[in-house]
Amino acid sequence: MNIGESLRQLRQQRGLTQEELADRCELSKGFISQVERNLASPSIATLIDMLECLGSNPSDFFHEKKADRSVYTSQDMFEKVDEETLHGSITWLVPDAQKNRMEPILVTLGPNGQSYTMGPGEGEEFGYVLAGSIFLVTGQEKLRVKTGDSFFVRPTSEHYLKNAGKSTAKVLWISTPPSF
């Protein structure tokens, strides 16, 4: 098996760039490139981490059959903490969502936190504010969304979420097709 080529194909199937995969795995883009070209070999732990970030696992990657799952526990989820931009974290709630038609994440924005800017796309996005208050910024429009409110967008321009208050905000954010 050509591991580098298989990883590249899996990444491309998920619609991720090398940079996006590197960001999810907390690796460098250069290392991802070297692995995909078989110029570097990841450790087993790094390979497993890369596969999880791609919504896969060693069993699936090496072609072993595995039954579809419907229930996921907190141990199945992947969390990326970002204190610089989010002042919080992103949690991928379904580990293999990148290969599905939708991708649910939990965004936690601390005070002054802001999600990453998402570009325009062909899909749809839904969000439900679980705690706190946020601004949904789409193009030149800035809309306040409070606890218990939801939003729906067909992204025709760059957009992002920004914490609107002094307490932590939590947002269930679902995109189709997967884009996080």
What pTM was computed for the model? 0.64
Which pLDDT value is given to residue 67?
57
Q: Which comes out higher in pLDDT, residue 120 or 67?
A: 120
Which pLDDT value is given to residue 171?
98
Which pLDDT value is given to residue 122?
84
Mean pLDDT of 88-114: 90
Which pLDDT value is given to residue 31?
96
Ranges of each domain in the chain: 3-61, 74-176
> Residue 104 — pLDDT band, cuts 50, 70, 90?
very high
pLDDT, one tens digit per residue, over 21-33 is: 999 999 999 999 9
Annotate 124-176 with DSSP letters as a single string: EEEEEEEESEEEEEETTEEEEEETT-EEEE--SS-EEEEE-SSS-EEEEEEEE
Matching CATH number, 74-176, of 3.40.50.20, 2.60.120.10, 2.60.40.10, 2.40.50.100: 2.60.120.10
Please say whether the beta carbons of 56 and 32 come within 8 A: no
| CA-based end-to-end distance of the chain | 29
Asked, colleague to colleague, whether 3-61 and 74-176 share their fold, the answer is no
Alpha-carbon span 157 to 3, nearest angstrom: 37
Matching CATH number, 3-61, of 2.40.30.270, 2.60.40.10, 1.10.260.40, 1.10.10.10: 1.10.260.40
Alpha-carbon span 67 to 53, nearest angstrom: 19
33's enclosing H/E stretch is: helix 29-36
Phi then psi for residue 118, to 5 deg, are: -100, 140
Average predicted confidence (pLDDT) for the chain: 91
